[in-house]
Amino acid sequence: MTVTKRNVKFHAHGLQIAAILNVPELAEDKKQNPAIVCVHPGSSCKDQTAGIYAEKLAELGYVTIVFDASYQGESDGEPRYVEYPASRVEDIRSAVDYLTTLDDVDEDRIGVLGICAGGGYAVNASMTERRIKAVGAVSVANIGRGYRENDPIKMLEQVALQRTAEARGAEPLVVQWIPNSHAEREEAGMTELDLVQAVDYYRTPRGQSPNSPNKLKFTSVDSIIAFDAFHLAETLLTQPLQIIVGGVQGAFGSYKDGHELYNRAASVKKDLFVIEGASHYDLYDRPEPVNKAVEKLGAFYKENL
């Protein structure tokens, strides 16, 4: 199905959010179409993996919207390069707000899809955003869990020192999410599968984007550490839920998080689909695993939206 891509903006907590709206052929004629909010991973942007899924789902007939997180990419917000989980969740709610203003969207048929940390944010938003009727999560990661596994108290003490320094006039500390190249990674002796593939996706022509500059304002790490994407899932996450993970496990933990989410979710209708032979980052853009994921998601949204 032919898809029309439109650059749009919507408002979230006082900021303008840059987004791409994907409109399937004949959607305007049909009016009342189902729609899906697509949420990018941490450090990512609308032009990368979330954009791939948004376009493929639009080809199946869904109006989709994918956006740069507040303070990142082409979206507004100062300071730059911060990762505030609360803002990321509010971005999703605001994207739903925007969809409800469109004449060709059925406000009672809105779903969400998140990839990696975006999957965790999508889950968290859905617990309190009841306009979201179906929840999809690919290579889902609980970003707070990941940061809490690496001496969180020491890191919080470092954040405290840095905040004091910046309050007294020091330059803001901006760090890298991952090594900037394979050469830098190899020099540091980093050989873990997910990290190798993260560098390959984000820092090579495979997936590199100027809207994903591999920068993180260090002092925002405190809010990441305190965030549990799955908190209250046992009580509040009741929508139909489709989780998709790769069977090849890496240190970033999406396989583990996917299983934990499945076990914790209160959803009566829930499914965990493991794509054997695929890794976390294979599900970002590799044609065969992505097509398997989209086929599963297409059937899920068709049934639940």
Cβ atoms of 297 and 57 within 8 Å: the answer is: yes
Identify the pLDDT of residue 1: 81
In DSSP notation, 219-268 reads GGHHHHHT--TTTTHHHH--S-EEEEEESS--TT-HHHHHHHHHHH---S
User: Are residues 125 and 132 in contact, defined by beta-carbon separation less than 8 angstroms?
Assistant: yes
pLDDT of residue 29: 66
Q: What is the radius of gyration, based on Cα positions, of the chain? A: 18
| Matching residue, tokens 């707070």 | 144
Predicted local confidence at residue 32, as pLDDT: 87
Could you report the per-residue pLDDT of 275-285, keeping only the tens digit for each?
Answer: 999 999 999 99
Interatomic CA distance for residues 130 and 134, integer angstroms: 10
Give every residue of the chain whose pLDDT is below 50, as ranges. none
Contact 86, 220 (CB under 8 A): no
**pLDDT one-digit tens code per residue, 94-127:** 999 999 999 999 999 999 999 999 999 999 999 9
pTM, to two decimals: 0.97
Give the three-state DSSP class for 7: strand
| In the chain, beta strands by DSSP E | 3-12, 15-24, 33-39, 63-67, 105-115, 132-138, 174-175, 216-217, 241-246, 270-275
